[in-house]
Amino acid sequence: GDLGRVAPNVSYTAIQRLADVLMGAQVGELGVFNVKSIEIYRSQLTPSGSIYTRMVSVPLALIKQQ
């Protein structure tokens, strides 16, 4: 599901800065599932439906549980 949305006029530089912040984030257990990556998509509405384009994918480090 969506965690947030970014306005369509946001620059690639701003998106890259967001990706950099996400890469530095500490991520632990999130409920009952593990998150392997966070992906930023652009959705473009067209008369025939939405077109989704992945802008960036941020892999998350695995945390070993004891």
Assigned token pair, 4:
């947030």
CA atoms within 13 A on the CB side of 40: 19
End-to-end CA distance of the chain, in Å?
29
Give Cα separations from 11 to 5, 21, 36, 42, 61 (angstroms).
14, 16, 26, 12, 27
- What pLDDT is stored for residue 54 in this prediction? 93
pTM over 0.75: no
The pLDDT averaged over each successive group of 10 residues in the chain (66 residues) is 74 89 80 80 90 89 62
